[in-house]
Amino acid sequence: MKRLLPLLLSCALLAGCGAGQASPSAGTDADTQYFFAMDTIMSITAYDGDTSAALVAAQQEVNRLEALWSRTRPESDVSRLNDHAGDGTAVPIQPETARLLETAAAAAQESGLAFDPVLAPVMDAWGFGLTESETTAVHRVPSQEELSALLPLTRDLPQVTAGEDGSYTAALPLTGQAADLGGIAKGASAAYVVDALTAHGVENAILSLGGNITALGHRPDGRPFQVLVTDPLASEDGYLCTIALEGGLTCSTSGGYERYFESDGVTYHHIIDPSTGYPAQSGLLSVTTVAADPALADAWSTALFVLGRDRALELWRSGEGTVAGMELILVTQGQQVYVTQGLEEGLQFHGEEAGYTYEIVRR
């Protein structure tokens, strides 16, 4: 699970806002809904339209998607897929699940499996695979022998087949495999939430879905929404910078600072490098992506954390592929912050007193 920050601020840097919560501007008719779903706190603020009905519909949409995509619900599409891993069964799935599996597979292939939707067996071995609502998770350092046996299960991606009648099936080719879409599902749900809101006349809203902030339209004063990007080294809430988030874009942050444990004096975080089975040692503390596709923003914030600064900027500068169309904020262990040029306008840097420096990266 990603940290609930970046913290959304709807109009100004308002004191007292909770992590990941939207705060309506004074003097507006904004309506905010807070709820718990997909193992995290979510909030949606709508500024116009039939806000009451829209927010109910939005939350219902998230709940519907969670019922399809949760790995821990026995009747979900993902659980049924995992139950038949390696036995040759083509499991019927809903179109939303098929679309998400295909998006996840595309991100996995393009990133060289830095993002891996079938990493669940390795995550489970570390004790990071269960949701935080599960109390049976035991964090431990698995042996190299155990990881060597599990890593081959993380290489073959789910196979999705479309039927002539518009139906979909999916299969996992290897016994012991397990899909876990937690690294992309919260981002992907934003597109469906936006549809639910607009169906009720909402043109301006802000969504905070577990570390993924999506803007619809703009603030009541006509300006872009503002998002605070957290300081990954802060013991309490501290922020590196404020960025402007235009309507139609999603901001997603991944970092190793929220879920971790210590063993024999060594800290192990939850972002696993699929090539080694160990927590990624890329030299980064956090990665923030800003993209038009919320699912890809979610997936690539994890993938780029694994790949590291140099590879991330190489992909961004290439002019080709998914990352080239995104904007990035990369925070290194040396407290250097790299912000790509598309975020320069509206950027306010707050990290100097904490020892950070920043650089605008240009093509």
Q: Which residues contact 265 (CB under 8 A, 6 or more apart)?
A: none
Rounded distance between C-alpha atoms, residue 87 and residue 102, angstroms:
21
Tokens of 228: 């605070």
Q: Are 20 and 210 in contact (CB under 8 A)?
A: yes
- Partners of residue 206 on adjacent β-strands: 45, 215
Please give the C-alpha separations between residue 159 and each of 65, 123, 174, 177, 266, in angstroms, as whole numbers: 20, 21, 11, 12, 38
For the chain, helix (H) and strand (E) counts, in that order, are 8, 18
- Nearest of 134, 137, 171, 135 to residue 156 by alpha carbon: 171
Q: How many residues does the chain have?
A: 363
Q: How many Cβ atoms from other residues are within 10 Å of residue 22's Cβ?
A: 25
Residue numbers belonging to the annotated binding site: 183, 298, 302
Matching residue, tokens 């890809």: 296
At residue 162, the 3 state secondary structure works out as strand
Q: Is 152 helix (H, G, I), strand (E, B) or coil?
A: helix
Query: Which residues define the annotated binding site for Mg(2+)?
Result: 183, 298, 302
**E strands of the chain, at which residues?**
7-9, 31-37, 40-46, 91-93, 159-162, 168-171, 205-209, 212-216, 225-230, 239-245, 250-255, 260-263, 266-269, 284-291, 327-332, 336-340, 348-349, 357-361
